[in-house]
Structure 1
Amino acid sequence: MSPFKRPMMLALLALLALSQARAADTRPKVLVLTGSGPSLPHAQQYPPWVHEFQNEEVARILEDSVHVDVVGDLSVLDEARLAPYEVVVSNSLFLTPTPAQLEALRNHVTGGKALLTLHSGILSFLNADFYEEMIGGLFIGGPTKDPGTFDVVTENMEFWYYGYAFRPARRHPVSAALGDFEATDELYYFQPGDRDLQVIARAENHPVMWERRWGSGRVMSLVLGHDLRAKRNPGYRALLRNGVRWLAGYPVVQPVRDMRVDADAGRVEGALDLARLAADRETGPLEFSLAGVDGDDVVDVHLDRRGRLDLDVRGREGVATVTVAVRGSRGLASTVAFKVAVDARRHGDLARYHGVRAQVSSVEARDDVKDAGHLVDGDPATRWASASVDPSWAMVDLGRTLAFNTVALHWDEAFATRYEIQVSDDPARGWRTVFTESDGDGGHDEIRFPTVQARHVRMLGHRRKVPQWGYSLYELAVYNR
């Protein structure tokens, strides 16, 4: 081959490979619109408001799920140029598009696509007469002078306890897939103006992430992420990644806790209902399928398309890793993996095995503390709370008679100062007290007593530390040590 033709051939091959790679990229497209517009008039004692956007970091957070284009030219706000993008991310400050550009953005979202504002991006498009309605409220203050450290609460709950909910307390799929976290960041203040707006996360009771429907599309805001350190917080990264995935049409799946089952369990029907742990933005039916089982000599796994998972335990000890694919109504899929440990003899927390059930005497009115299953779910962030009444009890049914000699209680601030630990093989025939506490101080109580054989164990509370509250426990664990 001629030495002149060889470079040309290599260039053509490289161009062909690039075009094939682009053709094979089926990820949804996301437009990150960035840059600063003219600074608004400000008091003389304050400097002009400027910001760094760290677009490279934003792209890195998202690149495993979507194709990201970062653009700093407002001319992209054109209906034809916006058409390929499922999500427009405003990572900007004081951008003032023309009326025609604003109308193109409005039509894009109303027609079924999505807008996400990041941090100071909530302060772009202020020249749009529809913008306050579009984002669901008003920016009313901030940023703070210096970044502060605070807890980010990933539940849609209001921090008061008087029995009236201003908004439904349902948890958004984006935040249901992660827990609370601590952040060092700027805290912007936002005043919701739409009752249908759903808060995804709060800090110091202020919304820091929220979402609402806009026509056939969605609008979401995340006001955290002031600087590079804030954007590298794992909690922030999970909120941003989950938010964009959900807006783009991926199902968002909550983590599945590892399971422990007895080797002689045989057929375990309904071991897991995955449909309760996954959602996409269309709220349509999802399709579930097995993506893999590493350890099928330990268990056979059966999964129907609706997310019901059954197990056939083969009778031998071991651990299987199960991976499930969840496909949404737009054809996009997410995966989730979890372990199934099979034990011939129970060890560790006996209350963490499949088939164990918790029951309680009463519950507080708040939805997030009503589930008795929180006592045995292994999650240190979930809890049960009783009504404000004495006596009250929380009981665990171990599913079979077992030997044990230790009960561990992890109390919330609403703890018992006087309580009993009782055991029984049949609660209808009575209980036997194995331990009495008359001066409890909350926190973690590890209670030891002579080894007993029983199926049921309960905490029976007689006196509360705080009279206006009930009893509240994060965990009730049972051990044979």
Structure 2
Amino acid sequence: MTRKNALVVRGGWEGHRPVQATELFLPFLRSSGYTVRIEESTDVYADAAEMAVTDLVVQCVTMSEIKPEQVAGLSAAVVAGTGFTGWHGGIADSFRASSDYLHLVGGQFATHPGKEPCQRRGGEDDNFLPHTIDITELGREHPITAGIEDFELDTEQYWVLHDELIDVLATTTHPAQPWQAWHRPVTAPAVWTRRWGAGRIVVTTPGHSLDVLENPDVRTIIERGMLWATRTASAS
């Protein structure tokens, strides 16, 4: 088996437990034939030689900052065929101030609606809502989500702003509640892919906590997404 090179980049807000969360997936990567390099900052993105031999980037960096040369290096690597994937805020809320990063990923976390105000107690579970991840028609045929049925979660439900260049494999719908400002249900992408040059990008929005990442459906989607995003022969 020809080994692939995976680069795990983690950091940012500690509330998403970037170390523990990425550690969950290291055994899968290694058993799937990847040589894994771990970096605790995005400095590596500006290393053109390292990025050129990287077949997959797994990023878990939330609410952080990135330098122009770093996002340029990441984007150039993806255009050349390096895969890019991640979950939750680690990819969809990584670098709010970088328009180039948002353009690369195709979607950005806007909010996660919370419980009715009278039910809030000041903890993170104020933002946990029961909701459904609905697999789209495309998702039912795509190798990342094929065979997975719609499933329920009770965790943060991401409201995502996005463009039309994404292929949506799963969605989630935010109901219009009396205490909220919107007046009709809003459906947001929950899992999407994006082709960027010769590269493949996969974003999975569930994943706020370790228990969500260990949900069998969420974990299967993330792991299949890693394999699908990895540099293909045509991008070598």
Same structural fold, with TM-score higher than 0.5 when normalized by the shorter chain: yes
Q: Say whether the 8 Å CA contact 2:133–2:171 is kept in structure 1.
A: yes
Percent of residue pairs bearing the same amino acid type? 28
Quick one: which of 76, 79, 88 aligns to 2:57? 88
Q: Corresponding residue for 1:407?
A: none
TM-score normalised to the size of structure 1? 0.39
Q: Which residue of 2 aligns with 1:243?
A: 225
Taking a change above 3 Å as real, the CA distance of residues 183 and 106 of structure 1, as seen in their structure-2 partners, is same
User: 1: CA distance between counterparts of 2:224 and 2:5?
Assistant: 15
| 1:130 counterpart letter in structure 2 | D
Residue 96 (structure 2) pairs with residue 126 (structure 1): yes
SS of match in other structure, 1:85:
coil
Task: Report the RMSD for the aligned CA atoms in angstroms.
Answer: 2.5
Tell me how far apart the structure 1 counterparts of residues 103 and 63 of structure 2 sit (CA, whole Å): 18
What stretches of structure 1 of length at least 5 have no aligned partner? Answer: 1-24, 38-48, 158-168, 250-281, 283-328, 331-481
From 43, 49, 54, the equivalent of 1:75 is: 43
Please say if residues 157 and 206 of structure 2, whose CA atoms lie closer than 8 Å, have aligned partners that are also in contact.
Answer: yes
Q: 4+ runs of 1 displaced by more than 4 Å?
A: none
- In 1, Cα distance between equivalents of 2:51 and 2:58: 12
Q: Cα gap change, 1:237/1:171 in structure 2, threshold over 3 Å: closer, same or farther?
A: same
- Structure 2 CA distance for partners of 1:73 and 1:131, relative to 1, 3 Å: closer
The corresponding residue for 1:26 is 2
Cα separation, partners in 2 of 1:62 and 1:225, compared to 1, 3 Å: farther
Cα distance in 1, alignment partners of residues 196 and 62 from structure 2: 22
- 2:12 corresponds to which letter in structure 1? S
Q: What are the ranges of 5 or more consecutive residues in structure 2 without an aligned counterpart?
A: 115-125, 174-186
Give the aligned residue type for 1:29. N
Q: Are positions 1:148 and 2:148 aligned together?
A: no
1:219 aligns with 2:201: yes
TM-score by length of 2: 0.76
Rounded to whole Å, the distance in 2 between the matches of 1:116 and 1:192 is 16
Residues 1:174 and 1:186: Cα distance change in structure 2 (over 3 Å): same
User: Quick check: 2:190–2:204 contact (8 Å CA) kept in 1?
Assistant: yes
Greater strand share, structure number:
1
Pairs aligned (count): 205
Letter of the aligned partner of 2:132 in structure 1?
D
Cα deviation 1:153-179 (Å, max 9, x = unaligned): 22247xxxxxxxxxxx88432111433
- Paired with 2:154 and 2:144, the residues of 1 have a C-alpha distance of 21
Partner of 1:233: 215
| Residues 117 and 218 of structure 1, relative CA distance in 2, 3 Å threshold | same
Task: Name the amino acid aligned to 2:6.
Answer: V
Residue number in structure 2 paired with 1:465: none
Q: Note if 1:192 corresponds to 2:162.
A: yes
Q: Does 1:56 align with 2:23?
A: yes
Match of 2:212, SS? helix
Amino acid at match of 1:243: G
Q: 1:191 to 1:127 in 2, by over 3 A?
A: closer
Deviations 1:147-201 (A, max 9, x none): 23322222247xxxxxxxxxxx88432111433322232111112212x311111
Q: Could you tell me how far apart the structure 1 residues matched to 2:223 and 2:9 are? A: 17
**What secondary structure does 1:174 align onto?**
coil
Structure 2 residue 79 is matched with structure 1 residue 110: yes
- Give me the whole-angstrom Cα distance separating, in 2, the residues matched to 1:64 and 1:228: 21
